[in-house]
């Protein structure tokens, strides 16, 4: 796909489709009046008819009259005072998805005044639109099917129409948006692939390919070495499966190297290639979704690739503990006591609370490798989706200044978080009869307790992002297909790039 910036007026642009953001109630003044006039009044007629509503993410295809563009696509941006980075990103995706099944080779998007609603202006709007179009082109059915009906179009050319803009700045921004979108799509495919396709070994192989492509170093720790190192929690989860676990460690930059902000950042992602619950087995209903329990791992692996593409050499560690959580004669039993990498004796009261076990050892290991700042991403709980739903990621962290830094990167990325408190008073409820702590206790406050558990396995500034609700969509929406959606990828990339030189 070619990216092109055009500084002409939108009515001068030739393309198969020209997309027009409609902010607020449809009103045909300024440039939209000119477009409407040249379309032969089509836009205003469609609005009067009720086909063009301006409702957010509602998109209407219209004839283009005398305009050089083949067709118009009016897409609702919603009320101007509520437009933010997320809105613009999703508008891009909506435009691309709305054209599913249509013969579109060149798509032009008029920026309109979208840039005025975000700091960063037209350049940021351009970046977010391109990122959105690239993510909107993602079709999970294409993973296993040779042909997909009504798939989003494969574009030869994406044109951004920004009259009077700084072409060089917009070109840079558009390219950044493309790379961000491609990275999110890499994460989505790794996350969406089936468990009979992606075992921990296959995930490690995928990470090796990514490392080779981008000049990253990689170390894949096998069970024997994990045992020598003392990763008792990590190994406890993988024991029940014939597919052995792998601790995947990717690195950009040099070991221990600090970034421009004086950090050695580690991003850690939960890689449960299938979560049956183990001996504490899950009910059958929706168990198939647990092939996506590796979404956190997929996300950090993709994020380090994106960082390497955008700013090669930026110091960054990505760690993905990969396991399959299965019941069997070798499985960990409820009540088994294991020694964590940091020396704590952990009482595994529920083998379905496995994410925190593998992440705990991965966080400790990140610190052993020199990490000074930690962020983990995990489909850790069902509780987070009951609390916050599928559009807001639950976030925990300490100290508050590090939490704020991570969320600031999230704001840049156009991703939404809500802070869950780490309430010290609940720690006693995780006391074990035999060990230092247990991995699961009563359901009350279980979301908070999942964070409290992880907190025990790091000593450095740390943030935990629970994407149990947001990591994948159960239904298609105007802006995304079903399945893994790449959430937190852009946040992690922005966070790492804040330290790029
Ligand atoms: N992977 C699940 C959490 C999950 C469930 C994410 C459904 C997305 C959709 C996790 O390993 C798990 O089983 N969590 C348990 C924890 C409990 C046993 C303390 C949960 O949330 O029920
Ligand atoms: Mn589980
Ligand atoms: Zn899980």
Closest protein CA for atom 18 of ligand 1:
353
- Residue 329 is given by DSSP the state T
Residue 202 has pLDDT above 90, yes or no: yes
Per-residue pLDDT, 487: 99
What's the average model confidence in pLDDT over 187-203? Answer: 99
How many whole angstroms from 270 Cα to the centroid of ligand 3?
A: 8
Distance of CA 290 from the midpoint of ligand 3 (Å): 7
Residue 272 CA: nearest ligand 1 atom is: 1
pLDDT at 345 over 90: yes
The CA distance from 393 to 382, in Å, is 12
What pLDDT shows up at residue 49?
Answer: 98
For the chain, what are the domain ranges? 2-163, 188-497
Average pLDDT in the 450-458 region?
A: 98
Both tokens of residue 276?
């049956």
CATH superfamily of 188-497: Zn peptidases (3.40.630.10)
- Given a cut of 90, whether residue 344 has pLDDT beyond it is yes
Phi, psi of 155 (to 5 degrees): -85, 140
Q: Among the bound ligands, name the one nearest to the CA of residue 323.
A: 3
Residue 334 alpha carbon to ligand 2 centre in Å: 13
pLDDT in tens, 250-295: 999 999 999 999 999 999 999 999 999 999 999 999 999 999 999 9
352 lines ligand 1 (CB under 6 A): yes
- As a CATH number, domain 2-163 is 3.40.220.10
Q: Collect all residues with Cβ–Cβ distance below 8 Å to 105 and sequence separation of at least 6.
A: 16, 153, 155, 156, 157
Task: Categorize the per-residue pLDDT at 332 as very low, low, confident or very high, splitting at 50, 70 and 90.
Answer: very high
Atom 13, ligand 1: residue with shortest CA distance? 352
Distance (Å, whole) CA 442 – CA 461: 28
Contact 35, 191 (CB under 8 A): no
To 10 degrees, the CA torsion angle through 310, 128, 171, 265? -20
Angstrom distance (rounded) from CA 401 to CA 461: 9
Ligand 1 pocket check for 276: Cβ under 6 Å: no
The CA 113 to ligand 3 mean position distance, Å, reads: 43
Angle between helices 295-310 and 489-497 (to 10 degrees): 40
| Binding site membership of 438 for ligand 1 (Cβ less than 6 Å) | no
Check residue 328 and give its pLDDT: 97
Question: Considering all CA atoms of the chain, what is the largest pairwise distance in Å, rounded to the nearest integer?
Answer: 79
DSSP H stretches of helix in 369-445: 383-388, 400-413
What does the pLDDT read at residue 231? 99
In this prediction, residues 470-479 reach a mean pLDDT of 98
pLDDT, one tens digit per residue, over 174-186 is 999 999 999 999 9
Give the Cα-Cα-Cα angle 231, 245, 194 (nearest 5 degrees): 145
What was the pLDDT predicted at 444?
Answer: 95
Q: What is the mean pLDDT of the chain?
A: 98
- Phi-psi group of 146: left, alpha or beta (phi > 0 → left; psi -120 to 50 → alpha; rest → beta): alpha
d(CA 290, CA 135): 23
SS3 320: strand
Within a 10 A sphere around the Cβ of 400, how many other Cβ atoms?
10
Ligand 1: centre distance to CA 468 (Å) = 7
The CA-atom distances, in angstroms, between 345 and each of 39, 333, 423, 430, 454 are: 71, 15, 22, 13, 14
Instruction: Report the share of the chain in percent with pLDDT over 70.
Output: 100
Residue range 96-105: mean pLDDT, rounded: 98
Burial class (CB in 10 A: 0-12, 13-18, 19+), 287: middle
Name the closest ligand to CA 278: 2
Q: Is residue 418 left, alpha or beta, with left meaning phi > 0 and alpha meaning psi from -120 to 50? A: beta
In ligand 1, the atom with minimum distance to the C-alpha of 440 is: 19
Q: Which residues, listed in sequence order, are joined to residue 473 by a DSSP beta bridge? A: 483
Residue 290 is classified by DSSP as G
Active site residues: 282, 356
**Exposure of 343 in the CB half-sphere (CA atoms within 13 A):** 1
Atom of ligand 1 nearest to the CA of 282: 13
Q: What are the phi and psi torsion angles at 271 (to 5°)? A: -120, 60
Residues 6+ away with beta carbon under 8 Å from 496: 259, 265, 267, 303, 304, 307, 314, 316
Residue among 195, 381, 471, 484 whose CB has most ligand 1 atoms within 8 A, to mutate:
381
Residue 501 pLDDT class (50, 70, 90 cuts): confident
Which residue has its alpha carbon closest to ligand 1 atom 7?
382
The mean pLDDT of 237-253, rounded to a whole number, is 98
Q: What whole-number distance in Å separates Cα of residue 270 and Cα of residue 362?
A: 9
Q: What is the 3-state secondary structure (H, E, C) of 434-458?
A: CCCEECCCCCCCHHHHHHHHHHCCC
| Confidence at residue 334, expressed as pLDDT on a 0 to 100 scale | 98
Check residue 120 and give its pLDDT.
95
The pTM score is 0.98
Kindly list the distances between the CA atom of residue 222 and the CA atoms of 147, 181, 322, 332, in Å, as whole numbers in the listed order: 38, 32, 10, 18
Among 238, 351, 352, the mutation site with the greatest number of ligand 1 atoms within 8 A of its Cβ is 352
């Amino acid at each position: 796909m070619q990216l092109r910036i055009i500084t002409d007026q939108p009515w001068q642009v030739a393309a198969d489709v020209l997309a027009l953001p409609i902010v607020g109630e449809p009103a045909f003044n300024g440039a939209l009046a000119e477009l409407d006039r040249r379309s032969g009044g089509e836009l205003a007629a469609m609005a009067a008819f009720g086909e063009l509503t301006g409702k957010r993410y509602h998109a209407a295809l219209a004839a283009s009259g005398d305009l050089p563009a083949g067709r118009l696509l009016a897409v609702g941006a919603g009320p101007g005072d509520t437009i933010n980075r997320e809105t613009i990103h999703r508008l891009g995706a909506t435009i691309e998805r709305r054209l599913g099944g249509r013969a579109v080779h060149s798509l032009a998007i008029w920026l309109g005044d979208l840039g005025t609603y975000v700091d960063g202006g037209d350049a940021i709007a351009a970046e977010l639109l391109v990122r959105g179009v690239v993510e909107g082109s993602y079709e999970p059915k294409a993973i296993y099917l040779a042909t997909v009906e009504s798939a989003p179009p494969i574009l030869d050319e994406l044109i951004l129409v920004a009259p009077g803009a700084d072409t060089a700045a917009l070109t840079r921004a558009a390219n950044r948006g493309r790379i961000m979108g491609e990275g999110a799509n890499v994460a989505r495919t790794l996350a969406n692939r089936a468990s009979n396709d992606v075992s921990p070994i296959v995930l490690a192989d995928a990470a090796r390919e990514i490392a080779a492509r981008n000049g990253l170093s990689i170390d894949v720790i096998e069970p024997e070495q994990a045992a020598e190192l003392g990763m008792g929690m990590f190994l406890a989860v993988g024991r029940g499966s014939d597919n052995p676990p792998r601790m995947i460690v990717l690195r950009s930059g040099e070991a221990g190297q600090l970034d421009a902000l004086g950090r050695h950042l580690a991003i850690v992602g939960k890689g449960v290639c299938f979560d049956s619950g183990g001996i504490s087995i899950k009910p059958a209903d929706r168990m198939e979704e647990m092939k996506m329990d590796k979404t956190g791992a997929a996300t950090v692996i993709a994020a380090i690739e994106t960082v390497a593409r955008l700013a090669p050499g930026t110091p960054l560690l990505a760690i993905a503990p990969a396991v399959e959580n299965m019941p069997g004669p070798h499985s960990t039993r409820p009540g088994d006591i294991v020694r964590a990498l940091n020396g704590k004796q952990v009482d595994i009261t529920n083998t379905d609370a496995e994410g925190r076990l593998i992440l705990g050892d991965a966080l400790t290991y990140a610190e052993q490798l020199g990490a000074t700042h930690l962020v983990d991403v995990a489909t850790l709980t069902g509780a987070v989706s009951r609390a916050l739903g599928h559009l807001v990621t639950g976030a925990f962290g300490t100290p508050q200044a590090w939490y704020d830094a991570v969320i600031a990167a999230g704001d840049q990325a156009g991703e939404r978080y809500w802070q869950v408190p780490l309430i010290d008073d609940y720690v006693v409820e995780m006391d074990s009869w035999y060990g230092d702590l247990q991995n699961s206790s009563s359901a009350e406050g279980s979301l908070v307790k999942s964070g409290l558990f992880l907190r025990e396995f790091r000593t450095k500034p740390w943030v935990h992002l629970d994407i149990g609700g947001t990591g994948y969509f159960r239904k298609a929406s105007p802006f995304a297909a079903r399945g893994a959606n790449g959430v937190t990828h852009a946040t992690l990339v922005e966070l790492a790039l804040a330290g790029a030189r």
